[in-house]
Every structure is written in structure tokens, then in C-alpha cells.
């Protein structure tokens, strides 16, 4: 039986933009597991209450419910050990967890400032008041103030990526010759932007650019086919 | 035949403080390899020219010379594959290389601002003019300006460590139940400070504190026995 994945949708139901759900989709593809997505909006808390969560991704795998992209990745490797691994052992998993912590604090935060108003424009009408109120409370300022000076914010995002560049100059993927969960963590952020914003995040001379192309090419262009803005 | 390690010394020859050489010492201990240290000062460039390097660590292993702490770690795992590994495979090595890049840009840089004047005070007289000139050129300001407002700098250092804390809350070491090269990367920074500065970098309530204690305890208290300031 296919796994059910609750997937954040914009106003258009087929525009699926959560950076965290993208990690889970890539992880499910990596493991070769069948899954069906259920479109979900920010305010539909009741629909995922069964998983004791207020945010997606949430998966339902038979009788098992798992919330949070990191927990889902760890669950998938434990539940399906004969499938390709997301983590090559304990040490790689812990260093990937560090990567996850780093990405949350730097990449995701700095990119959010760049694409925030593009996101706000494209989310469902019924989500807009909730989105504005919850984010303004978190930021301590208005959305417009948080997103001010976009050129500087874009430069900060590009600067935040500095520690991954030496790895991608020498390797096709952060995990080596093939992609692993660290690649999906970083790619989720890029796909979030690609789905919701026409902004050009990186230039072709950047070693991250061909890596992103390789990520978009995986599994017959799975992520490339998603509704978005090819930049 | 024992490996020779060129090791940065302060004015006192037995005060060995380089964060990068500490990584190498811990790596050599991890692999159970015999080594002898040669005290070296910043201005003794001729002594390590054989390795085509101007900085330490440099090792001489028979006819092989290797410079740079990262290169040495990779070399040791390749040259001594039957000894305990510093990296648990390719993916772990690449994620550790990312950790290394992150640490260089955040932990080492922010800690340097905290302990810079303590370092300057304790280095050899013959190194002082070189140290001041080279670092002031790199910083674009005087040492005193770079180190100004130490309480704010200390807070920034503690903040920079944020992504490692969730790992150390749940695991004895960054690499799992035993230490790996990521632990030695981070520990090198703490040992740099411990050797040269009486400042108290972290408090006992911080999950990093018991980890540092575990690192100091390794191999019969090898790093704890080094000349320094137990803070």
C-alpha cells in the first residue's frame, strides 16, 4: 500500500512548495517507495492532527504516522533497511543532522527573507491571515519589513552557502558520487524558491548551479517537472 | 619509525597551542600511531619548507611529507587503513569536510576574536612583529580593534556553536558513541583557547561542556595534561 504524504499547496492546488516536504519527496524517491500526496494548506490543522502535528510533512504508512522531515527520513531508513539508505551509517547520520541544524539556521532563514513576499502572494487566500499573523509574531516585524532590501538579502543567502561550495567543486553531490539526505536538505530550500518565486538565486558560474541541475535531473526530472519558475 | 609532527609553540616551548595541530595530534592518537613533536614558531618558515608549506601542522612519515590538518587526516586514513578510521566512509568524510568548512568560517573566526590578545601576549617574542603585521593585514584593522568588546565576541562565539548542541544533547560525541574527526575539528578550537587563555568559554549547563570533558579525558587525559588554563 502506498505511503500517504500531506503536501503543502499554494492557491493553485498543484503548486507544492514546502522545503521540508520536498526533502521527504526526494527521500521517498531515493528509497523507491510508492507514495500519494494529499494537498494541504497551513490552516488545515485538523487534517494532520492524527499525527500530533501542526505542520507538514506528515506521512501515513499503514498504521504508522510520522511527522517532521527529519523524523521521517530516520523512520524510512529504519523501516525499509533493504532499500537504498538515506544515511551511510551512524556517523554520517549525525553529521547530516548537524547539516540539518546548520541549514535551518542559515540557508532556510536567509532564503525566506528573499522569497517571502513571493510566497505570500501565491499562498491560498484562506491561509493569508494566519501566515501573516504567525510569521510577523515570529519575526517581531511585518512581512514587508522582514523582506526589505532584497538585493542585500540575496547576497546574504549566497554568502550563507559558502561552506558547501568546496565540497561541490570536487564532488557531484554533497554525499559523494550519488545524492544522500544532505543533498535533499539543501535542495528542498532551492525547490521551495523555484516553486514560488521567479527570482534567480544563483548564477551558472557558481558550483552550486550544476549541482542543482543534477538534483532536478534525478528520477527522470522528477523535481524539474513540478510547477514552478525555472530560473 | 615514529611520525614527526611540527607543532606550534608559544614563548614557553611546552605551550603548544595551534587548533589545527591539535586536530592532528588527536587524529594520530585516534589511529594509535607513534609520533614525536618538533616545536616550531610562526617565523620558522625554512624548517617546514620541505613540505611546501608555511604553516603547521606538517608531518613527516618516512619519506612522505604532508601539510594541512585536513590533508593529514585524509592521508592517515589512506595510509593506515587497518587502524581505527577517522571517517566512516565517503559520505561521512564529505559531511565532515563541510563541518570543517563551517568551523573555519564560524567557530575558529569568532573564537579568535575572543582570545586574540591572550594569544599575542603568550607567543614568542620573535613571532610578535610577524603575527601583528600578518593578522592586521588579514583583518584590515589593528589586533586591539579586532578584539574589542570581548563580552559581545564571547556571546557571538557561543551563538555560533548553536547547530552542534542538538547533536551533543543526544550523543556523547558528534560522531556517535565514540569520537571521530568532526570531534577533533571542534575540540582543536577549544584546546587552542585552553592553552592560551584563562577565559571561561562555556558554562557547565551547556551540552558542549560535558563533551569537552569527554574529549579531555581521551587516552588517559592526553589533552588535559597539556600546558594550559583549565577553565
Nearest to B168 by CA among B199, B200, B202: B202
Nine-digit cell at A85? 539508505
Asked if A102 reaches chain B (Cβ–Cβ under 8 Å), the answer is yes
Q: What percent of chain A has pLDDT over 90?
A: 99
Three cell numbers, residue B76: 592517515
CB-nearest to B163 from A88, A101, A176 is: A101
Instruction: Average the pLDDT over A66-91 and give the result.
Output: 98
Residue listed under C-alpha cell 611546501: B52
| Contact in structure between A173 and A180 (CB atoms under 8 Å) | yes
Residue A199 pLDDT > 90: yes
- pLDDT at residue number B52: 97
- Cβ <8 Å between A88 and B91: yes
Contact B91 A94 (CB under 8 A): no
Mean pLDDT calculated for residue range A165-193: 98
Q: In this predicted structure, what is the pLDDT of residue B56?
A: 98
Query: Is B210 in CB contact (< 8 Å) with chain A?
Result: no
Chain A residues within an 8 Å CB radius of B74: none
- Helix/strand/coil for B176: strand
DSSP B85: P
Please check the confidence at residue A231 and state whether its pLDDT lies above 80.
Answer: no
Domain ranges of chain B: 3-79, 90-221
The mean of the pLDDT values for chain A is 97
- Mean pLDDT of the A4-10 span: 98
Task: Report the alpha-carbon distance of residue A207 to residue A147 in Å, rounded.
Answer: 26
- Out of A88, A95, A166, the one facing B101 most closely (by C-beta) is A166
User: Rounded to whole angstroms, how far apart are CA atoms B51 and B62?
Assistant: 13
- Using a CB-CB distance cutoff of 8 angstroms, which residues of chain A are in contact with residue B171? 94
* Residue A180 zone, left/alpha/beta (φ > 0; ψ -120 to 50; rest): beta
Question: What is the fold of B3-79?
Answer: Glutaredoxin (3.40.30)
Residue A144 has pLDDT above 90, yes or no: yes
Fold: same for B3-79 and B90-221: no
SS (H, E, C) A118-131: HHHHHCCHHHHHHH
**pLDDT at A204 (0 to 100):** 94
Distance CA B1, CA B192 (A): 28
* Pairs of residues, one from chain A and one from chain B, whose beta carbons lie less than 8 Å apart: 89
Q: Is A45 on the interface with B (CB under 8 A)?
A: no
Q: What is the pTM of this model?
A: 0.97
Give pLDDT, residue B230: 87
In chain B, which stretches have pLDDT less than 50? none
Which of A95, A101, A161, A177 is the best residue to mutate to test the B interface, defined by the most B CB atoms within 10 Å of its own CB? Answer: A95
**What's the pLDDT tens digit per position in A27-60?**
999 999 999 999 999 999 999 999 999 999 999 9
A224-228 contact pairs (CB < 8 A, 24+): A226/A16, A226/A191, A226/A194, A226/A195, A227/A12, A227/A14, A227/A15, A227/A16, A227/A195, A228/A15, A228/A191, A228/A194, A228/A195, A228/A196
Find where cell 510566497 sits.
A119
Give the pLDDT confidence of A120-139 residue by residue, as tens digits. Answer: 999 999 999 999 999 999 99
pLDDT at A230: 87
**Contacts of B173 by beta carbon, 8 Å cutoff, 6+ apart:** B179, B180, B183, B211, B214
Distance from CA of A163 to the nearest CA of B (A): 5
Q: Which are the contacts of B223, defined by CB distance < 8 A and separation ≥ 6?
A: B22, B25, B26, B187, B191, B215, B216
A68 in contact with B at a CB cutoff of 8 Å? no
**Residues of chain B found within 8 Å of residue A88, distances taken between Cβ atoms:** 88-92
Crossing angle for the helix pair A90-103 and B90-103, to the nearest 10 degrees:
40
In this structure, the strands spanning A35-40 and A58-61 are unpaired
Cα B123–chain centre separation: 16
H/E segment holding residue A102 = helix A90-103
**What does the pLDDT average to over A159-185?**
98
Question: Does residue A98 belong to the interface with chain B, where contact is any CB pair within 8 Å?
Answer: yes
As a whole-number percent, the residues of chain A with pLDDT over 70 amount to 100
ipTM rounded to 2 decimals = 0.95
Q: Which CATH architecture has domain A90-221?
A: Up-down Bundle (1.20)
Residue A155 binned pLDDT confidence (cut-offs 50, 70, 90): very high
Amino acid B50: pLDDT:
97
Amino acid at each position: 500500500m502506498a505511503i500517504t504524504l500531506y503536501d503543502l499547496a499554494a492557491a493553485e492546488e498543484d503548486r507544492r512548495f514546502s522545503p521540508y516536504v520536498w526533502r521527504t519527496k526526494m527521500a521517498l524517491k531515493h528509497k523507491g517507495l510508492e507514495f500519494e500526496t494529499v494537498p494541504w494548506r497551513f490552516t488545515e490543522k485538523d487534517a494532520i492532527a492524527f499525527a500530533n502535528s501542526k505542520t507538514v510533512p506528515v506521512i501515513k504508512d499503514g498504521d504508522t504516522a510520522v511527522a517532521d522531515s527529519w523524523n521521517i527520513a530516520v523512520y524510512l531508513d529504519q523501516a525499509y533497511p533493504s532499500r537504498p539508505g538515506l544515511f551511510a551509517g551512524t556517523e554520517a547520520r549525525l553529521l547530516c543532522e548537524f547539516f540539518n541544524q546548520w541549514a535551518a539556521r542559515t540557508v532556510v532563514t536567509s532564503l525566506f527573507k528573499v522569497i517571502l513576499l513571493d510566497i505570500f502572494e501565491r499562498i491560498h487566500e484562506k491561509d493569508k491571515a494566519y501566515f501573516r499573523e504567525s510569521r510577523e509574531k515570529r519575526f517581531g516585524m511585518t512581512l514587508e519589513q522582514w523582506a526589505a532590501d532584497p538585493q542585500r538579502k540575496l547576497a546574504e543567502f549566497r554568502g550563507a552557502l559558502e561552506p558547501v561550495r568546496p565540497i561541490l567543486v570536487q564532488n557531484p553531490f554533497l554525499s559523494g558520487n550519488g545524492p544522500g539526505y544532505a543533498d535533499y536538505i539543501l535542495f528542498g530550500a532551492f525547490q521551495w524558491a523555484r516553486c514560488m518565486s521567479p527570482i534567480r538565486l544563483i548564477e551558472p558560474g557558481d558550483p552550486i548551479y550544476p549541482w542543482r541541475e543534477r538534483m532536478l535531473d534525478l528520477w527522470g526530472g522528477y523535481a524539474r517537472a513540478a510547477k514552478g519558475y525555472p530560473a
